[in-house]
Amino acid sequence: MEKYGYQFSFGPWNIHEGADPFGPTVRPSLAFDQKLETYKELGFDAVQFHDDDAVPDLDQLSPGQIGQAAGEMRKKLESFGLKAEFVAPRLWEHPDTIDGAFTSNNPRERQYAIDRAKKAADIGRELGTNLMVVWLAREGTYIREAKDAARATHQLLEALNQLLAYDPDLRIAVEPKPNEPMDLAYIPTIGHALALGFKTSAPERVGSLVESAHAILAGLDPSDEMAFALAFDKLFSVHLNDQNGLKFDQDRTFGAVDLRRAFNQVRVLEDNKFFNKGMVGLDVKAMRTQPAELATKHLRNSMLVFLRLVEIARSIDRELIQELIDARDYEELDWLLLTSLMG
């Protein structure tokens, strides 16, 4: 498969059992080794890890045990011809993160979150990656009066500074989302994420991860969010998927809802030579209706859509596009893009 210089990553959660808030699992679990084998067969290059994907039950382990388990995981990845793209601390399931992790009103809970994130940095180092993704899942509130938003922003800044000081090689990609699981998020967009990063003690080591669906949930176009981050050289990674309106986070197959929107994401990545800067991460989930033996087609389809859109972006007549822009004939430009996408 020709990948045009891009490398692709996946999360173990992208092959899942199909449970949703209103129904139980509908597919059997797949062993981790089977997931690695499946992803490698599909053409993926790297794994996106939550900390406890790499080291289960890490809160009950000593630093030495964590290091040993992470080292064993690295050997397993290498045996499949894979590598780690990043490690993300899972700061949204533990009881101490119910009311926020870094922004909890309880100082003991805030310290738990910082300590947990430091363990994630240790795991990443053992896995061979210095990139940490910080999804601020519960950094917000259900009612505005419950927290001081300005104080919470300073708490986020202090947490990032502690992580940067803990590991001088660590790079942090802040992943924003406007809502879900918290109703009112403090870092809802890439602009918020970059502003936070620029105020840290090491802004050169703090960037962002743009997820398509998260941008859509904020009422924004993912390609604009990516372009904004790229303008500051702050797009460290992406989570490509699609989203059907301002609903819950759907993680649909990339391009399945809006192919034009998907094309513009690819166009922005292409124009800024993202293949030299980071990996293309997919964060997609199979529809609940898929039988177990057919529950990886969303991954195959997302990668193939991306690569087909790369072909279109590279083959489209750029001189003609510039002529139409100079003539301000945007109707003809619109038609050119539509016919290119229709084939």
pLDDT tens-digit series, residues 61-107: 999 999 999 999 999 999 999 999 999 999 999 999 999 999 999 99
Residues labelled catalytic: 50, 53
**What's the pLDDT band for 1 if we cut at 50, 70, 90?**
confident
* Percentage above 70 pLDDT, the chain: 100
Give all domains of the chain, ordered by start, each with its CATH number: 8-342 (3.20.20.150)
Local confidence band at 10 (pLDDT 50, 70, 90 cut-offs): very high
pLDDT in tens, 104-137: 999 999 999 999 999 999 999 999 999 999 999 9
Average pLDDT of span 41-47: 97
Task: Give the dihedral sign, CA 115/99/246/218.
Answer: negative
Query: CA 1 to CA 9: how far, in whole Å?
Result: 15
Angle at which helices 107-127 and 63-79 pack, to 10 degrees?
40
Q: What would the mean pLDDT of 185-200 be, rounded to a whole number?
A: 98
Q: Which residues contact 58 (CB under 8 A, 6 or more apart)?
A: 51, 52, 66, 69, 119, 123
Nearest partner of 196 among 223, 159, 225, 228, judged by Cα: 159
Which pTM value belongs to this model?
A: 0.97
Beta strands in the chain (DSSP E): 8-10, 46-50, 83-88, 131-135, 140-141, 171-175, 184-185, 206-211, 235-240, 280-282
- As a whole number, mean pLDDT of residues 180-197 equals 97
